[in-house]
């Protein structure tokens, strides 16, 4: 053995001992999170994110024997996609809520027996109904996931009967100002739509 190879062998042995004595790998951190195998930290001075493989749906579905829980970014569906199936029978599912660009407001009553101009906080009503649903199925979480800030959403009325209710405005916080001009009958309704920014 040549003496100039000793430093390389020593370094290799030290790396092997180091790798076998720690269960985590840290990038930009000297103390990776104990529960993680890989902990990536982005320093504040040069903040950067993690970029997972990006591919079309066809490319994703062409992956040979994709592992259960494999993650890719599906550029066609615009979502982080995970294989929730097996290697032999993959079942790709979009994980990100943001791939769905809009959803309907839960049903609410708008009282029309008193005519006049009123405000209703659409976001507060949405948060209340999603955060505390009246019933859940066995084993279901006690609340439906909801967007935690008003600023995450745009607010729309896609349909209403203008002969009974006039929509005056909806502000950026989701507060709708409206005027009831005529008492509603049994088939009057408003379609309230939230769109994700």
State pTM to two decimals.
0.53
Determine how many CB atoms are found less than 10 A away from the CB of residue 178: 21
Q: How far apart are the first and last CA of the chain?
A: 65
In a 13 Å sphere around the CA of 197, the CA atoms on its Cβ side amount to 10
% of the chain at pLDDT higher than 70: 84
pLDDT tier, 177 (very low <50, low <70, confident <90, very high otherwise): very high
Question: What residue spans of 4-162 are helical by DSSP H?
Answer: 6-21, 57-61, 122-131
Beta-bridge partners for 169: 177
Q: Per-domain residue ranges for the chain?
A: 7-41, 51-99, 102-196
Query: What is the structure's pLDDT at 70?
Result: 93
| pLDDT at position 147 over 70 | yes
Query: What is the structure's pLDDT at 1?
Result: 52
pLDDT tens for residues 49-106?
888 999 999 999 999 999 999 999 988 878 888 998 899 999 888 886 555 677 878 7
Mean pLDDT for 138-167 is 86
Mean pLDDT for 158-182 is 91
CA distances from 33 to 39, 51, 92 (A): 6, 20, 29
Q: Is 194 exposed, middle or buried (0-12, 13-18, 19+ CB in 10 A)?
A: buried
Q: Are 40 and 50 in contact (CB under 8 A)?
A: yes
pLDDT tens for residues 125-145?
998 888 888 898 998 888 887
Query: What is the structure's pLDDT at 11?
Result: 63
% of the chain at pLDDT higher than 90: 29
Determine how many CB atoms are found less than 10 A away from the CB of residue 81: 24
Nearest CA to 56 out of 72, 45, 36, 34 is that of 72
Nearest CA to 157 out of 148, 166, 145 is that of 166
| pLDDT at position 46 over 70 | yes
Query: What is the structure's pLDDT at 111?
Result: 79
């Amino acid at each position: 053995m040549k003496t100039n190879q000793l430093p390389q062998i020593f370094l290799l042995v030290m790396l092997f001992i180091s790798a076998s004595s720690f269960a985590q790998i840290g990038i930009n951190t000297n103390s990776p999170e104990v529960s993680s195998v890989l902990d990536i930290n982005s320093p504040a001075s040069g903040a950067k994110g993690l970029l997972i493989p990006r591919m079309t749906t066809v490319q994703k579905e062409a992956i040979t024997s994709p592992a259960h829980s494999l993650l890719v970014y599906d550029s066609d569906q615009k979502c982080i996609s995970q294989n929730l199936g097996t290697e032999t029978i993959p079942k790709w599912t979009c994980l990100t809520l943001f791939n769905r660009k809009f959803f309907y407001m839960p049903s609410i009553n708008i009282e029309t027996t008193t005519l006049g101009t009123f405000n209703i906080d659409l976001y507060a009503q949405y948060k209340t109904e999603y955060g505390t649903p009246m019933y859940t199925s066995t084993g279901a979480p006690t609340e439906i996931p909801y967007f935690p800030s008003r600023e995450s959403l745009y607010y729309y009325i896609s349909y209403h009967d203008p002969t009974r209710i006039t929509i005056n405005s909806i502000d950026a916080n989701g507060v709708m100002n409206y005027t009831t001009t005529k008492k509603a009958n049994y088939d009057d309704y408003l379609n309230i739509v939230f769109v994700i920014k």
